[in-house]
Amino acid sequence: MYDLPWLGDAHDALWSALVTAAAREGVVLPARRERGVEPQALATRPELVLTQICGLPYAKMPPAAVRLVATPRYRAPGCAGAAYRSVLLGSAGRGAGRPGNLAAALAGPVAINEASSQSGHLALRRAMAMVPGCRPERVLTTGSHHASVCAVAAGRASLAAVDCVTWALIGDARPALKGAVSVIGVTPPAPGLPFVTRASMSWGQIAALNRALGGVMRDPMLASLRRVLRLDGVEVLPDAAYRRLLRLEAEAVPPLLVQT
């Protein structure tokens, strides 16, 4: 889910390490990770071994659809344990970019990464509930958090909600892009993006996958790689943590209709 264009090699290296660690635990992972597939579609495949998905779609899946393996922790401002936040971004140098000026930002076009996203859509809808009556003039679906930041930086959108891990990764590698937008707010925490497997995986296999993930997160030889990806470990959250997102969705403003 955080496979930004400049992080492909780092994620490939992490996957290779995980393949080796999983083999030691008796679990066979594909030698190469599959790319270019929508995560929620991948999660429904009967041959799925491991993928990462957004917490909101996971909360909406039938209980027998997939099984939770673990939730990663990240070292990024806005993260605490396996929870994370979204940052609300406005255009730098414009009134919409002033901290706390959400109403002004909502006066222009709003960018969302996708309608099913917790961090890019639901988090924004929850923030909008704090400014009753404010609705954006237009909603753009960009396809990714990175593209949403680019839309705000280019002036095509006046507001976007962006996952704080993505925001930190952009700051690491694209400081000019980060400097072209302003943080005008931060949303409340939500459970992080979980790793899941197919429902037919045994609990023993899931435990083995969890041990493999934990080993990769502790391996001192992989410390520099984890630092690049801002990874800090894994933990197992209860399903109730994700079901809470459904209650939060009920308290938010209605979904934003994509108009262009």
CA 89-95-98 angle, to 5 degrees, is 50
Task: Report whether pLDDT(95) > 70.
Answer: no
Q: Exposure pattern of 228-240 as b/e (b: 16+ CB <10 Å)?
A: bbbbbbbeebeee
| Residue 96: band (very low, low, confident or very high) from pLDDT cuts 50, 70, 90 | very low
Q: For 161-182, what is the mean pLDDT? A: 97
> How much is the pLDDT for 41?
74
Question: Minimal CA–CA distance to 248: which of 122, 104, 81, 77?
Answer: 122
% pLDDT > 70, the chain: 95
